Amino acid sequence: MKGAIGAQRARVRLERPLRTGDDLGGGAIAWVDAGEVWAAVSAHGASLSVAFDTAPSLAGHALTINRRDDVRAGWRVVWGARAMRIVGVRDEGAARIDLICEEERL
């Protein structure tokens, strides 16, 4: 029932990165609001990653939204208190696209 519009029950916010420079030659990333959309959210497994003496868990999600041509990998989705990195966009030319996301928790 992936194509049913009634399955899109979660209201999420899309954010795109904006890279800004500072006076010392460095930079920072600010997140800019790219709009709110309805999404169908489904969990797609989890894994552990060991880096810098920590063991954060990574939770995978897939979100189905109505077609947007501007969404890219590297953007993020904010769903309630969760922030998820978009690692891929599955676009098969249909009315909806799938966002493959990873949520990182320490």
Residue percentage of the chain with pLDDT more than 70: 79
Contacts of 74 (CB under 8 A, 6+ apart): 17, 85, 86
The domain ranges of the chain are: 6-105
Q: Calculate the alpha carbon distances from 54 to 22, 48, 51, 75 in Å.
A: 30, 10, 6, 25
pLDDT tens-digit map of 37-58: 999 999 876 655 555 555 566 7
Taking the C-alpha atoms of residue 18 and residue 62, their distance in angstroms, rounded to an integer, is: 24
Neighbours of 59 (CB within 10 A): 16
pLDDT tens-digit map of 72-82: 999 999 999 98
Taking the C-alpha atoms of residue 17 and residue 15, their distance in angstroms, rounded to an integer, is: 7
Helix (H) / strand (E) element for 106: namely none
Q: What is the DSSP letter of 51?
A: B
Considering the segment(s) 6-105 as one domain, its CATH architecture is Beta Barrel (2.40)
